[in-house]
């Protein structure tokens, strides 16, 4: 396993730019998936969030904690959806955990993801295994630094595809959710594809 380089604020900005592009590419896909189990606006909501984040990219501070906190505030100011609210909570808590750091090593990254997951679980009232985006966040938090993150997230979707959604809007269509991917989990996959530059269609 090769050595993983520290992650800087420059890396964050570059990853966010890729995520913004990928979100726009997948707006229709995410809306369609969401329409099957929810209200059909997940893609449009995330595109609105992406636009707001794009306008602040150059102004993000080099301190990771401050940058993530600022991103949480941007998201909170543009969208009140449940998925956006969870992202905001996760980013805010990760920002607190990473305050004062300008470079992240593997342990820092894992700590940030764990902090985000803890806050998101508490805010959502969902549990791991409920077939939500939180199951993807948990998988990311546990993925070894040198592993292929897109592959790990795709495997997580495959693991849950045959299960019923037990939380969020999709839980009211639990029977129909069996054999389908949860829209929030697919959104997380697309964001990871954008961040890593690996645009692999499922």
CATH number, domain containing residue 27: 1.25.40.340
- pLDDT at residue 170 greater than cutoff 70: no
- pLDDT at residue 197 greater than cutoff 50: yes
DSSP E strands: which ranges in 62-189? Answer: 103-104
Burial of residue 39 (CB within 10 Å: 0-12, 13-18, 19+) is: exposed
Residue 142 is assigned to a structural domain of this protein: yes
What pLDDT shows up at residue 29? 97
Residue 1 is assigned to a structural domain of this protein: no
Residue 132 is assigned to a structural domain of this protein: yes
What pLDDT shows up at residue 176? 75
Q: Residue 186: give the domain boundaries.
A: 8-196
Burial of residue 164 (CB within 10 Å: 0-12, 13-18, 19+) is: middle
Rounded (5°) CA angle 177-154-137: 80
What residues are paired with 103 via a beta bridge? 8
This prediction has a pTM of 0.91
The 10s digit of each residue's pLDDT in 30-58 is 999 999 887 889 999 999 999 999 999 99
The total of structural domains in the chain comes to 1
Q: Name which of 98, 48, 103, 110 is nearest 68 in CA terms.
A: 98
Residue 35 is assigned to a structural domain of this protein: yes
- 103: helix, strand or coil: strand
- Residue 26 CB contacts under 8 Å (≥ 6 apart), including other chains: 43, 187, 190
96-105 burial code (b ≥16 CB/10 A, e <16):
ebbeebeebe
- pLDDT at residue 81 greater than cutoff 90: no
Residue 113 is assigned to a structural domain of this protein: yes
User: What are phi and psi for residue 24, nearest 5 degrees?
Assistant: -65, -35
Residue 3 is assigned to a structural domain of this protein: no
Token pair, residue 16, equals 């966010």
Residue 201 is assigned to a structural domain of this protein: no
- At 74, the pLDDT band (50, 70, 90 cuts) reads very high
Residue 47 exposure: Cα atoms within 13 Å on the Cβ side: 12
Find out whether 157 and 190 touch, Cβ atoms under 8 Å: no
Residue 118 is assigned to a structural domain of this protein: yes
């Amino acid at each position: 396993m090769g050595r993983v380089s520290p992650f800087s604020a420059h890396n964050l900005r570059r990853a966010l730019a890729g995520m913004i592009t990928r979100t726009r590419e997948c707006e229709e896909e995410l809306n369609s998936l969401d329409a099957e189990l929810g209200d059909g606006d997940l893609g449009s909501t995330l595109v609105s969030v992406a636009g707001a984040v794009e306008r602040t990219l150059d102004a993000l501070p080099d301190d990771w904690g401050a940058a993530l906190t600022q991103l949480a505030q941007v998201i909170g100011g543009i969208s009140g959806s449940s998925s956006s609210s969870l992202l905001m909570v996760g980013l805010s808590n990760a920002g607190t955990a990473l305050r004062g750091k300008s470079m992240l090593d593997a342990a820092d990254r894992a700590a940030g993801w764990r902090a985000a997951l803890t806050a998101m679980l508490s805010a959502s009232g969902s549990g791991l295994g409920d077939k939500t985006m939180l199951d993807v966040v948990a998988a990311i938090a546990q993925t070894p630094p040198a592993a292929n993150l897109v592959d790990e997230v795709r495997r997580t979707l495959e693991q849950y595809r045959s299960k019923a959604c037990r939380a969020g809007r999709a839980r009211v269509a639990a029977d129909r959710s069996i054999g389908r991917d949860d829209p929030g989990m697919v959104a997380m996959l697309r964001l990871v594809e954008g961040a890593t530059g690996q645009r692999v269609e499922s």
